[in-house]
C-alpha cells in the first residue's frame, strides 16, 4: 500500500493495510474493515469531481463515525470543498500518497470523538487517497487544457466554456456583468520588426499588466493573437470604465526597453454591459463591434457598445 501521512506524522508500511493510528502502529485492520475499504475505494473511484468524492465519502463513513460537517483544502491545487458549519470537535488530516501532497481534510461535530472512532476513521481514510489523487490529476489536466501556455492566463477553450455560463448565471440572478475585448495597437509592427520572440515577450507583459488591473473575481482570456477578453461580474458601467482606463494607463506606461526602439504600444477596448435580452453570442458581438469602432476612430481608447 502506498504511504499515507497524517498531521500526526505516522508512516505506513508498504504492502499492508495498516490502521492509521499512531497509538497502535502495527495493527492490521480486520477482514471486514478491509472489505469496507475496498468497496468504498471502488465507489469513490467512479467520481472525478471533488465535491462528489467528499460527499460520498462523508455519507458512507457517517454511519460508522458520525459527523455533521467537513472541509477539504489543497493550497497546492487551489481546491476547496466545504459542507456544513464547523463545530468544536474535529479530526484533521494531511494526506499524501506517493510523494504527492493531496491536501488537508477535516471532519467536525459537537461531541468529542472516541478513540475507537478515531482508529476507525483513519482506517477508512485509506479508501479516499487513490480516488482523491485521480481527481486532482484530472483537475491538473483540465487546468492545463484551459491555460494559454505563453501568458498563463485562460485560453479560448476556457472562454468558450466559462463565459456562456457567466452570462447564464448573471441573467438567472439578475446580476450585472461587464465584458471587454482588448486588442493591442502596434503589435504587428513590433512582431515584424523585432521578431516573434519579442512579440511573445510583449504579450506576456500585456497579460501581466491587464491581470494586475483586474479583481480576483474577474476573468481574463487570451482570445487569440493579440486579443484579450475580460469578464467583470457584479460590476456596473462606471466601474468597468474605470478598470478599462486603468488598463490603458498600464499599457501606455509599459517599459519597452529591448524592443528595437519602440517606446510604447496602445490598446483599443470595446466594452458593454449585459442586457436583459442578451445571450452570450449577442453580448459578445456587441462588445466586438465596440472594439472595431475603437480601432477605427483613433485607437488606444475605450468605446462603450
Q: What are the mean pLDDT values of the chain's consecutive 10-residue runs (305 residues total)? A: 37 30 48 86 95 96 96 92 93 91 95 94 93 93 89 94 93 95 89 83 94 94 95 96 96 81 84 96 97 93 94
Q: Are residues 177 and 215 in the same domain?
A: yes
CA-based nearest residue to 230, from 194, 188, 177, 192: 177
Q: Are residues 170 and 261 in the same domain?
A: yes
Q: Are residues 40 and 59 in the same domain?
A: yes
Q: Are residues 186 and 292 in the same domain?
A: yes
pLDDT at 28: 54
What residues make up the domain containing 206?
Answer: 156-304
Q: Are residues 223 and 248 in the same domain?
A: yes
Q: Are residues 213 and 286 in the same domain?
A: yes
Residue 291 in any domain: the answer is yes
pLDDT at 197: 86
Residue 135 in any domain: the answer is yes
CA-based nearest residue to 219, from 268, 266, 283, 155: 155
Q: Are residues 161 and 296 in the same domain?
A: yes
Residue 2 in any domain: the answer is no
CA-based nearest residue to 99, from 14, 213, 187: 14
Active site residues: 226
pLDDT at 16: 27
Q: Which conformational region is residue 91 in: left (phi greater than 0), alpha (psi within -120 to 50 degrees), or beta?
A: beta
pLDDT at 31: 76
pLDDT at 157: 93
Amino acid at each position: 500500500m502506498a504511504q499515507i501521512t497524517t498531521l500526526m506524522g505516522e508512516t505506513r508500511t508498504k504492502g499492508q493495510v495498516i490502521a492509521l493510528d499512531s497509538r497502535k502502529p502495527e495493527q492490521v485492520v480486520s477482514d471486514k474493515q478491509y472489505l469496507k475499504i475496498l468497496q468504498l475505494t471502488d465507489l469513490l473511484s467512479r467520481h472525478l469531481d471533488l465535491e462528489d468524492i467528499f460527499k460520498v465519502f462523508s455519507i458512507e463513513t457517517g454511519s460508522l463515525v458520525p459527523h455533521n460537517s467537513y472541509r477539504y483544502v489543497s493550497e497546492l491545487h487551489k481546491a476547496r470543498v466545504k459542507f456544513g458549519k464547523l463545530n468544536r470537535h474535529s479530526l484533521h488530516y494531511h494526506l499524501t500518497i506517493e510523494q504527492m501532497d493531496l491536501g488537508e481534510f477535516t471532519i467536525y461535530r459537537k461531541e468529542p470523538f472516541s478513540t475507537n472512532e478515531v482508529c476507525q476513521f483513519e482506517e477508512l481514510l485509506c479508501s479516499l487517497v487513490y480516488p482523491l489523487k485521480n481527481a486532482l490529476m484530472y483537475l491538473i489536466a483540465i487546468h492545463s487544457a484551459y491555460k494559454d501556455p505563453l501568458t498563463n492566463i485562460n485560453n479560448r477553450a476556457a472562454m468558450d466554456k466559462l463565459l456562456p455560463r457567466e452570462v447564464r448565471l448573471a441573467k438567472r440572478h439578475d446580476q450585472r456583468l461587464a465584458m471587454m475585448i482588448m486588442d493591442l495597437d502596434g503589435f504587428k509592427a513590433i512582431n515584424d520588426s523585432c521578431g516573434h520572440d519579442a512579440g511573445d515577450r510583449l504579450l506576456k507583459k500585456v497579460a501581466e499588466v491587464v491581470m494586475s488591473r483586474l479583481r480576483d473575481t474577474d476573468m481574463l482570456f487570451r482570445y487569440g493573437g493579440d486579443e484579450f477578453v475580460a469578464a467583470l461580474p457584479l460590476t456596473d458601467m462606471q466601474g468597468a470604465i474605470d478598470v478599462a482606463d486603468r488598463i490603458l494607463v498600464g499599457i501606455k506606461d509599459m517599459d519597452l526597453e529591448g524592443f528595437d526602439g519602440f517606446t510604447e504600444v496602445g490598446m483599443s477596448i470595446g466594452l458593454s454591459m449585459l442586457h436583459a435580452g442578451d445571450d452570450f453570442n449577442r453580448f459578445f458581438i456587441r462588445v466586438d463591434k465596440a472594439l472595431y469602432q475603437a480601432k477605427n476612430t483613433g485607437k488606444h481608447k475605450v468605446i462603450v457598445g
